[in-house]
Amino acid sequence: MEIVSQEFYLILSAILFAIGTVGVLTRSNAIVIFMSIELMLNAVNLGIITFAFFSGDVFGQVVVFFVMAVAAAEAAVGLAIIIGIYRLKQTININYKNIRIFG
């Protein structure tokens, strides 16, 4: 049975992080930007898990577990904020000129 190397996981993590970065920098839809940030967070988690697995340390896996729990709460709050802005302004386009959240 062939074992996948550490470099493969790190390259995959870097590619996912790059895709997330491009999504944040090029998109104007708030939900797509939010999903790109989540993709970047998961890419970092993959890197941490990779280093934890190949070094034989359990601490990295525990850290990723807590990061994922915080990310779930952050996703719920972020989506609620985006929905609130949509209900108020009828758009989630971040390039829209007349968006004033407070007033």
Question: What are the pLDDT tens digits along the chain (103 aa)?
Answer: 678 889 999 999 999 999 999 999 998 888 888 899 999 999 999 999 999 998 988 898 899 999 899 888 988 998 898 888 888 878 777 776 655 555 5
- Contact between residue 76 and residue 12 where contact means Cβ atoms under 8 Å apart: no
26's tokens: 């090029």
- Contact between residue 45 and residue 67 where contact means Cβ atoms under 8 Å apart: yes
Domains detected in the chain? 6-89 (1.10.287.3510)
Reference 71, options 94, 39, 26, 31; nearest CA is 39
- Contact between residue 94 and residue 28 where contact means Cβ atoms under 8 Å apart: yes
59's tokens: 């601490």
